[in-house]
Structure 1
Amino acid sequence: MTTRLLHLAAVTLLATLALQTPPAEAIDSASLPSSIRLANARALIEAKDWKGAIAELQGVDAPNDPDWNNLMGFSHRKAKKPDYAAAERFYDAALRIEPSHRGALSYSGELYLMQDNLPKAEQRLTTLKLVCNNACLEQDRLAQAIARYKAAGNKYVPEPEEPAQTSARAAQ
């Protein structure tokens, strides 16, 4: 199911719950199923609300899920005050659980560029080439990030602003 469909399902469920809940009662996000909370976190990531996404993901607390770890790493890396150490821990956890997780491989490669660690970023790209059989969005994204890094004299250059929907979908 795509992120857009998950988000639509979450919104529909929340709207249904709101209609069934007496107005005096507030819907407690903590009482929602994990799948809905993950959809909410993805929607917050799409909206670039990193703090909100981290809070929602912490409420889910699924440390054995590679996607959850990847989303946590992504949110920590993109936050207004990035926490690169936390991002790396979450990406590494995702890759311990699922060594071929394309999102975690690509995004951790970008993190390494941000930390001026080109050899580790290139290592992630090599792994992505194997995982993707030389053809996937995550491999292309990291290859372009490495090319921008090298062209800028070994300085990290963020990806040109992209539609939020694309970044949220890629963070999965």
Structure 2
Amino acid sequence: MKGFVRIMAVVVVVTFAPPSALPVDDRPDQPQPQSPDLEAGRKALDTKDYKSALGHLIKAAKETPSDADVHNLLGFSYRKLGQFDRALEHYRLALKIDPNHRGAHEYIGELYLETGQLANAERQLQALHKACPWFGRCPEYEDLKEAVEKYKVKR
């Protein structure tokens, strides 16, 4: 009975509390628009125009240096152009900004495979397993897992 009374008291307080006493969600319903350079960089990546993507993404990184997505895409572009050191630098920046950035974990894992560092790729796979909701079930985990398995078969 005491539990019921407590629950009813909470219901009454929440129901009749002035609006200023209740938590306010001031986040916008719509996501914030991306920078034009980030959008242009994504479009260039969609067409595999990595050099053009780099130009746009470098500008986007100057606008928003703490955007993990921008650094992840910069890393991807550099990796696709064979500039592994620069790619690694941007993947690490993305993970410093957002340690659970699934895309960065996947792509840095792929970079490690491309440079013959299986153990490092497997560490990224473990990090993805922890970062992915649903017990490691996410596209990034599945993609890197498949890449690791293919790498092992080729060895």
Both structures adopt the same fold (TM-score exceeding 0.5): yes
User: What is the letter of the counterpart of residue 111 of structure 1?
Assistant: L
SS of match in other structure, 1:64: coil
Match of 1:135 in 2: 137
Corresponding position: 1:112 with 2:112: yes
Gaps of 5+ in 2: 1-32
Corresponding position: 1:39 with 2:39: yes
Q: What number of residue pairs does the alignment pair up?
A: 119
Matches of 1:73 and 1:129 in 2, distance apart?
21
Matches of 2:98 and 2:39 in 1, distance apart?
21
User: What is the letter of the counterpart of residue 145 of structure 1?
Assistant: A
Which consecutive segments of 4 or more residues in structure 1 shift more than 6 A?
none
Q: CA deviation at 1:34?
A: 6.0
Which of the pair has more CA radius of gyration? 2
Matches of 1:74 and 1:121 in 2, distance apart?
15
Q: TM-score, normalised by structure 1?
A: 0.67
SS of match in other structure, 2:65: coil
Q: Of Structure 1 and Structure 2, which has the larger fraction of its residues in helix?
A: 2
Matches of 1:122 and 1:96 in 2, distance apart?
19
Larger RCO: 1 or 2 (CA < 8 Å, sep 6+): 1
Match of 1:145 in 2: 147
Q: TM-score, normalised by structure 2?
A: 0.74
Match of 2:53 in 1: 53
SS of match in other structure, 1:147: helix
Identity value in percent: 39
Q: CA deviation at 1:57?
A: 1.0
Q: CA deviation at 1:63?
A: 2.5
User: What is the letter of the counterpart of residue 44 of structure 2?
Assistant: L
Matches of 1:51 and 1:71 in 2, distance apart?
12
RMSD: 1.2
Q: 1:140 to 1:34 in 2, by over 3 A?
A: closer
Gaps of 5+ in 1: 1-32, 154-172
Q: CA deviation at 1:112?
A: 0.4
Matches of 2:54 and 2:116 in 1, distance apart?
25
